Amino acid sequence: MTAEHGPEHDIDAELNTRERWDTRYREKTSLWSGKPNPTLVSETVSLTPGTALEAGAGEGADAIWLAKRGWTVTGVDISAVALERAATHAAAADVAERVTWECRDLSDWEPPARAYDLVAAHFMHMSPSRRRTFYSRLAAAVAAGGTLLVVAHHPSDLETAVQRPPYPELLFTAEDLAADLGIEATGTGEWEIVTSAAAPRVATDPDGNQVTIHDTVFRVRRR
């Protein structure tokens, strides 16, 4: 499940453009399930609601779930089509006043520093150099005592038949992300690692078979 590409191949220009994502959303009336990501629920349900940033908000399920729990949420996504749906869903859920939607290219957007009690990003995959910059900016947006939660496709998924972008460098482990952010596993320093895992879950491959895949789960708290 790999692709041949030269050093000048721009993965981000191929996969992470506004035009591509707007087209993907227009092709279906609903691209995602409409339910919050289970890891978001399990990792944040015990947190005290405050301000939250949902990076890559899509059609809004995660941001809306947080808003229902009392969070004041900023949902950011590259696709205006997705955010139009998200705003409609938020209004239907009676939480429109708790969510602000912003259409931004996340690869070059810089959120305000230390502004959020929770910063969450699910399945945001970029080239390694942009990934380091992107997640460093998200980490910088976490307030004192706040939480950064990142969930992503684990590199081991490439050994299964599930559909993943054919570029291994897009996928990363929790340890990779910790290294990118300069966070040590010793428990010292500015950050406390709460969760660092390759979490298994069951998925269905293109042939309809059930397979076990893994999600990278990385949750840290700023001291």
8 vs 10, more confident: 10
137-157 per-position pLDDT tens digit:
999 999 999 999 999 999 999
What is the C-alpha separation between 189 and 206, in angstroms, rounded? 44
CATH number of the CATH domain containing 159: 3.40.50.150
In a domain, 144, yes or no: yes
Q: What pLDDT, on a 0 to 100 scale, did the predictor assign at position 6?
A: 47
pLDDT at 15 exceeding the cut of 90: no
What domain count does the chain have? 1
Maximum distance among all Cα pairs of the chain, rounded to whole angstroms: 49
Q: What is the pTM of this model?
A: 0.93
pLDDT at 191 exceeding the cut of 80: yes
Question: Domain limits at 120?
Answer: 35-222
pLDDT band for position 3 (50/70/90)?
very low
In a domain, 5, yes or no: no
pLDDT at 5 exceeding the cut of 60: no
Per DSSP, the three-state class of 46 is coil
In a domain, 183, yes or no: yes
Q: How far apart are the first and last CA of the chain?
A: 40
In a domain, 25, yes or no: no
Q: What pLDDT, on a 0 to 100 scale, did the predictor assign at position 186?
A: 73
When mean pLDDT is compared over 5-19, 81-95, 175-189, the highest value belongs to 81-95
pLDDT at 8 exceeding the cut of 80: no
Q: Which contacts qualify for 192-198: CB closer than 8 Å, 24 or more apart?
A: 192/220, 192/221, 192/223, 193/218, 193/219, 193/220, 194/43, 194/147, 194/219, 194/220, 194/221, 195/43, 195/219, 198/154, 198/156, 198/173, 198/174
In a domain, 96, yes or no: yes
**Cβ partners under 8 Å of residue 39, min gap 6:** 122, 149, 151, 199, 215, 217
In a domain, 133, yes or no: yes
What is the C-alpha separation between 122 and 153, in angstroms, rounded? 9
Q: What pLDDT, on a 0 to 100 scale, did the predictor assign at position 7?
A: 44
Sign of CA dihedral 141, 183, 135, 175: negative
Residues 12, 69 contacting (CB under 8 angstroms): no
Residue type, 112: P
Q: What pLDDT, on a 0 to 100 scale, did the predictor assign at position 90?
A: 98
Which of 103, 105, 80, 77 has the alpha carbon at shortest distance from 13?
Answer: 105
